[in-house]
Structure 1
Amino acid sequence: MSPATPSPAPLAPDGEETAPARLVHALVARAREAQRQIDGYSQEQIDLVVSALGWAVINPANNRALATLAVEDTGLGNVEDKVSKNHRKTLGLLRDLHGKKTVGVIGGDPRRGIVDIARPVGVVAAVTPSTNPVATVINNIINAVKCRNAVIVAPSPKGAASCARLLELIYPELDVLRVPRDLVQMLPAPVRREQTQLLMGAADLVIVTGSQANVRAATQSGTPTFGVGVGNVAAIISESADLTAAARKIADSKTFDNATSCSAENSVIIPSGRYRPMLDALVEQGGVVLTAEEKARLQRVLWPDGGKLARDRVGHSAQFLAEAAGLSRAACQSARFFIVEEEGVGERFPFSGEKLSPVLTAYRADDFHQACDRVRALYAWQGAGHSVGLHGTDPAEALTAGLTLPVSRVIVNQAHSFAAGGNFDNGLPFTLTLGCGTWGKNHFSDNLNYRHFYNKVRISRPIEEDIPSLDMLFGDYLRRKGS
């Protein structure tokens, strides 16, 4: 393969290459050599490497150690849920990849004279978030290597120790297969923004999951990029919904890993006639509806400056938030999650946005169509292109949502944070990187998967001519025109 030409190295005032540039270019050079060594691997060899990478996390002892370190390292989420997330996301990804062709001829269409060939992209730069410092990292690594690429991870500063430990566990598994360790690398701690930007410019492909600042930097790097949009998932409760089942799924999703997932529900939109019964069902699942005073206290804690969400308050339990906000009511002290009632959307109503906390905003709607209007308003403010949840039994409503709402996924009767990124009981690919389409300023709307990690070459051979008649193409129009 022919890798892309690296970006020119920044120079120090004396004309020499800067120290960060030397570091990054050394990593990339080693990655290119390691990638060259596996470029000729067979599908069977690559699949063994993928299994080795997956075992580094699936191994229960490794998984728990990584989950524990991730919580200690970032202060986000909780250990048991991260153990579950690391296991399920990795196991699901390996299921999706099992038997998939990524080496040499991968398919084609003999009738059309087409043969499809998969080729590596080269060196992948994976920019990963603090919210999932293990699951996202291993997902990107496995997808990249499945397609015979090298990968260099640029973890968030808070997630650097977890990433480093993951690589320490990966390397002995690679050694078993005599695979070069430089196939999987990371920027050394402390991870600096300058190094991350240099890496994005020097790589052949960038995968960026996390802050919009990182996504913007990646798209401006000059390197092809798969980036994500902003999460702010809303769930619509239909007139036909099973309220008990919907409340259980929403509560389980909202509280999983302290709501660190971008796919966790942030708002629930309820028909007026079912509003109180739905709130009661959510309370049965451990939710607590806050009073106006309690809501104001929580708002001051989550948005202390009136605008930006406080990063040191997100990803914690409801008990942590209750203590921080001075919510002394006994129910608040034992809540699984909080429910705040809201009427507005936008800057003056911060609970209408993404909260990354076990806090659910409740809205009323007269009917399904008004609920869809509320979703449009919410996503015009934040979250366009991501996903919407729908609880109900009318398939026409799901189709209407898919045809009219600015979303890339309509998740029907499922716990959203488990389902949007793929689950064992739906057909979406397992991922932690969700494209949001042009609505979310992304150029893809899929769940990131292995197909995004290779170049496709097409061999085209001549076939019998297939020239359409003018009547086939223009007949209907011309007859209507009367010509």
Structure 2
Amino acid sequence: MSTTIQAMVEKSKKAQKEFENNFGQEEVDQIIKDITKLVYDRAEEFAKMIHEETGMGVYEDKVKKHLGKSKIMWKGLKGRKSMGIIERDEEKGTVTFAKPVGVVASLSPVTNPVVTAMNNIVNAIKGKNSIIVSSHPASLNSVVYSIDLFNDILSSYNAPENLVQIIKEPSIEKTNELMAACDVVVATGGHAMVKAAYGSGRPSYGVGQGNVQCIVDRDADLNEAVKTIIKGRIFDNGIICSGEQTSILPAEMYNEAIEIFKENDVYYVEDDEEKAKLTELLFPEGHLNKKMVGQPAKDIAAEVGIDVPEDTVMLLIKGDKEDKEDLLRKEKIFPVNVAYSYDDLDEAIDIAQTNLAIEGIGHSVSVHSHNEENIEKIAAAVKVSRVIVNAACSLTVGGSFTNGLEPTTTLGCGTWGNNSISENFYFKHLLNTTKIAYLLEDVEVPTDEEFWA
């Protein structure tokens, strides 16, 4: 291990112990409130800095992202016990204590650098853990700046120095060393990063690949559904892994839906030549074109000589149901969506599941429907961890004021997605627990004959 990482981990362990021994629930929660409020207050500053540093996404959407995620994170954490006795079950005779896991290694992606750092830091602090962040190099300056501000808050509470640290000169080697030396890893980012986390030899929480399939039911308000799909797909120019990737539409409503898309500044691609050009651009030799990630729809079209209106916000490509290996079935981290038609709900589910099997299994599906039976039929059939109903997936799947999901930037995808959890990652995953089991008095234990009768 390099002396840099070794020294950081040693300092982190010392800070964690001091923090654990000297800070209580009320003070910890106040620190978390101040950190999330800082991100809220400086949303425009962070958005501008990240947009300029990474060259990805949309400034205005990044502002909304920092405003929204900071609020929902505090909503999800305030008032919840995370230390000492957190549960008494008189009926079972158990008492549960929460204790820190220790030193957390946090891997932060280029697509959502500051909100991911904030998310992991406040979840770590909630359980009285320390944390070391390894940022993607392309967004390093933004993350370092945010953590410096977070540390100013910690200092104002006389929290121990080095409770929150960041690798100032990140590299793959240093990140691997960090993961191997810490107590638990939280990896939010690409497939290679998550795979490395699970191979570190430490307990790890990672995310699976996104490829959100969006099914529109026959009873849906088509106009509202289309507008919601567009809203979710174009947010931050499509760089969020939970953005809508497809529009799976009833066959008899397909043409009407396409017209609604067009009325809302979407360019529809049905010409085979245009489709082939875009496929080659977005997936050269079958691999995602990183240069196109988070770029505007009109710029993507211009790259292959397709003339679209200046106000085009999204490209909608007609899907090929027969080609099961079409590259456009994969995750697209840009404002591009693929449209399919279906005859019955079973076919809609099959289209979604076929695409998920290529990429994105375990992640999420979006459904526009008012038919509870159909919604639950879809949920029972698809291999995903979340089904979002009548809402923009990219804006709500990480927790929202309008649903009951835990606020997060790390979306577990279960064993389907090679993850350890199939739910939204939150502070409980950074707690160890100790349970007292009292002897239950006056319990009538059945005889073997009575038990097996």
TMscore range, shorter length? over 0.9
Shift of 1:33: 1.2
Shift of 1:394: 0.6
**Equivalent residue number for residue 109 of structure 2:** 129
Per-residue Cα deviation, 1:209-256 (whole angstroms, up to 9, x for no partner): 111111111111110000111100110011111101101111111111
Whether 2:123 is the aligned partner of 1:146: answer no
CA distance change for structure 1 residues 469 and 174 in 2, over 3 Å: closer, same or farther? same
**Equivalent residue number for residue 278 of structure 2:** 298
Per-residue Cα deviation, 1:127-148 (whole angstroms, up to 9, x for no partner): 1111001111100101000110
Whether 2:31 is the aligned partner of 1:49: answer yes
The structure 2 residue matched to 1:65, chosen from 45, 49, 56, is: 45
CA RMSD of aligned residues (A): 1.5
**Equivalent residue number for residue 6 of structure 2:** 25
- State whether residues 108 and 136 of structure 2, in contact with CA within 8 Å, keep that contact through their aligned partners in structure 1: yes
Q: Which runs of 5+ in 1 are unaligned?
A: 1-8, 10-20, 476-483
Whether 2:421 is the aligned partner of 1:444: answer yes
Whether 2:448 is the aligned partner of 1:467: answer no
Distance 1:389 1:74 in 2: 29
**Equivalent residue number for residue 39 of structure 1:** 20
Distance 1:127 1:473 in 2: 51
The structure 2 residue matched to 1:222, chosen from 189, 201, 215, is: 201
- State whether residues 123 and 204 of structure 1, in contact with CA within 8 Å, keep that contact through their aligned partners in structure 2: yes
Distance 2:434 2:17 in 1: 19
- State whether residues 56 and 166 of structure 1, in contact with CA within 8 Å, keep that contact through their aligned partners in structure 2: no
Report the AA paired with residue 27 of structure 2.
Q
**Equivalent residue number for residue 399 of structure 1:** 376
- State whether residues 346 and 352 of structure 1, in contact with CA within 8 Å, keep that contact through their aligned partners in structure 2: no
Shift of 1:293: 2.3
Shift of 1:470: 5.1
Report the AA paired with residue 223 of structure 2.
T
Distance 2:81 2:210 in 1: 32
The structure 1 residue matched to 2:68, chosen from 76, 84, 88, is: 88
| Within-5 A mapping of 1:421-436 | 421-436=398-413
The structure 2 residue matched to 1:110, chosen from 75, 90, 111, is: 90
Whether 2:228 is the aligned partner of 1:246: answer no
**Equivalent residue number for residue 289 of structure 1:** 268
Report the AA paired with residue 50 of structure 2.
A
Report the AA paired with residue 49 of structure 2.
L
- State whether residues 324 and 354 of structure 2, in contact with CA within 8 Å, keep that contact through their aligned partners in structure 1: no
Per-residue Cα deviation, 1:134-178 (whole angstroms, up to 9, x for no partner): 111100101000110001011111121111111121122122111
Aligned-residue identity in percent? 35
| Within-5 A mapping of 1:181-196 | 181-189=161-169, 191-196=170-175
Report the AA paired with residue 278 of structure 2.
L
Per-residue Cα deviation, 1:417-459 (whole angstroms, up to 9, x for no partner): 1121111111111111101111111121011111111111111
SS of the residue corresponding to residue 457 of structure 1 reads strand
Distance 2:444 2:186 in 1: 40
- State whether residues 344 and 352 of structure 1, in contact with CA within 8 Å, keep that contact through their aligned partners in structure 2: no
SS of the residue corresponding to residue 245 of structure 2 reads strand
Whether 2:286 is the aligned partner of 1:307: answer yes
Whether 2:334 is the aligned partner of 1:357: answer yes
Shift of 1:32: 1.0
Report the AA paired with residue 52 of structure 1.
D
SS of the residue corresponding to residue 408 of structure 1 reads strand
SS of the residue corresponding to residue 335 of structure 1 reads coil
- State whether residues 407 and 426 of structure 2, in contact with CA within 8 Å, keep that contact through their aligned partners in structure 1: yes
Whether 2:177 is the aligned partner of 1:177: answer no
Shift of 1:36: 1.1
Report the AA paired with residue 387 of structure 2.
V
Shift of 1:468: 4.7
CA distance change for structure 1 residues 349 and 117 in 2, over 3 Å: closer, same or farther? same
Distance 2:338 2:444 in 1: 57
TM-score, normalised relative to structure 2? 0.96
Distance 1:174 1:229 in 2: 32
- State whether residues 207 and 226 of structure 1, in contact with CA within 8 Å, keep that contact through their aligned partners in structure 2: yes
Shift of 1:100: 0.2
Distance 1:120 1:345 in 2: 52
**Equivalent residue number for residue 6 of structure 1:** none
**Equivalent residue number for residue 3 of structure 1:** none
- State whether residues 36 and 73 of structure 2, in contact with CA within 8 Å, keep that contact through their aligned partners in structure 1: no
Distance 1:188 1:387 in 2: 34
**Equivalent residue number for residue 182 of structure 2:** 203
SS of the residue corresponding to residue 385 of structure 2 reads coil
- State whether residues 321 and 351 of structure 2, in contact with CA within 8 Å, keep that contact through their aligned partners in structure 1: no
Report the AA paired with residue 180 of structure 1.
P
Shift of 1:265: 0.6
Report the AA paired with residue 113 of structure 1.
G
- State whether residues 345 and 381 of structure 1, in contact with CA within 8 Å, keep that contact through their aligned partners in structure 2: no
Per-residue Cα deviation, 1:345-389 (whole angstroms, up to 9, x for no partner): 778411111110100001111111110011111111111011111
Whether 2:144 is the aligned partner of 1:164: answer yes
- State whether residues 364 and 386 of structure 2, in contact with CA within 8 Å, keep that contact through their aligned partners in structure 1: yes
- State whether residues 345 and 352 of structure 1, in contact with CA within 8 Å, keep that contact through their aligned partners in structure 2: no
Per-residue Cα deviation, 1:324-364 (whole angstroms, up to 9, x for no partner): 222124x3x32110100111477841111111010000111
- State whether residues 208 and 226 of structure 1, in contact with CA within 8 Å, keep that contact through their aligned partners in structure 2: yes
CA distance change for structure 1 residues 79 and 112 in 2, over 3 Å: closer, same or farther? same
The structure 2 residue matched to 1:319, chosen from 294, 298, 314, is: 298
TM-score, normalised relative to structure 1? 0.90
Q: How many residues align?
A: 450
